[in-house]
Chain A
């Protein structure tokens, strides 16, 4: 199997997800007390930067199976949008408001976008040469 040089999308994605999870744990571990949002915002910002870096790195890959990536990624995005929507509903139902709600909502957005990218990337990187389209 010929390995093509590809950006570390999976590794960056896992670090990004870990930062989101750490932010969620930080916020939930302090309930019901008021919690300073600084660390959670910093973790979210770092995670979002990694997401952006992953998207940029991926967009520069040539000879990549973009059809496969989009085909798998769009269904995965739908599934994770539903999951993120359900979690958001739970936040609202639990009366989370203000800055914490904004941080958690944006964290869900990063989560719901990054996981489909990881799924689409993993499928597309192993696609046959017939599936690959020059970028």
Chain B
């Protein structure tokens, strides 16, 4: 695996050139992971086409659990840890984590929402006459806020960090700035996931 040099942060210009740091080579979108994404997409299409309760419930619960756990863990546990890491450690961690996140998050979100919508149609919870419908609308609002944050801030920051890291001499200050945005967003999303847990457990228990 080829390594590339990265300069130390240049917040205060130093007379001497900072020592280059090592970072592993990587793919912005891991191509091998696309196979797993395709498998997940096929499973989702089959589940929706068959419109059977168990496959829909499985994809919605499994995808939702993965989404919630990743957001909570990243936002409330890993985020603060990453914030206290040294720049080289943060760069190496980012290089290994972010490409996986480019594939994992859209996949689990798509599985959860698409299977969840179909499940709601089947169980009737998306219809306005259902007694638990206000809770479903509350979940739309929570998901809507998370979608705006993820699409408007998180994903652009994720892609921008990876493209910066791909440069022959990445700018650590840019990476730090974008990672700060990523970590704050992940924290907010983690907090929103607690609201999701409250709503979903209420819907499941009736």
Interface residues of A (CB under 8 A from B): 1, 10, 13-14, 17-18, 21-22, 24-25, 28-33, 68, 72, 76, 83, 90, 94, 115, 118-119, 121-123, 126, 128
Contact = CB atoms under 8 A, between A and B. Distances in A.
A33 B152 CA distance: 32
A29 B156 contact: no
B149 to A, nearest CB: 8
Interface residues of B, number: 32
A68 B157 CA distance: 15
B164 interface: yes
A128 B167 contact: yes
B21 interface: no
B144 A31 contact: no
Contact of B151 (A17, A94, A123): A17
A121 to B, nearest CB: 7
Contact of B128 (A14, A25, A31, A76): A31
B94 interface: no
B126 A31 contact: yes
B160 A123 contact: yes
**Candidate in B127, B163, B167, B174 with the most chain A CB atoms within 10 angstroms:** B163
A25 B140 contact: yes
Contacts of B178: 122, 126
Contacts of B155: 115, 119
Contact of A10 (B48, B140, B153): B153
Contact of B121 (A1, A17, A33, A94): A94
Given A31-B126, A128-B167, A25 B159 contact: no
Contacts of B148: 14, 17-18, 21
Contacts of B151: 17, 115, 118
B159 A119 contact: yes
Contact of B156 (A10, A25, A83, A128): A10
A123 B167 CA distance: 12
Contact of A126 (B110, B127, B164): B164
A21 B113 CA distance: 14
B153 A21 contact: no
B159 A122 contact: yes
Contacts of A33: 128
A79 to B, nearest CB: 8
Given A29-B137, A126-B164, A72 B144 contact: no
B20 to A, nearest CB: 16
Interface string B23-59: 0000000000000000000000000100000000000
A90 B160 contact: no
B10 to A, nearest CB: 8
Given A17-B147, A21-B148, A1 B156 contact: no
A76 B159 contact: yes
Given A123-B163, A126-B164, A25 B157 contact: no
Nearest to B175: A126
A32 B127 contact: yes
Nearest to A130: B167
B114 interface: yes
A1 B173 contact: yes
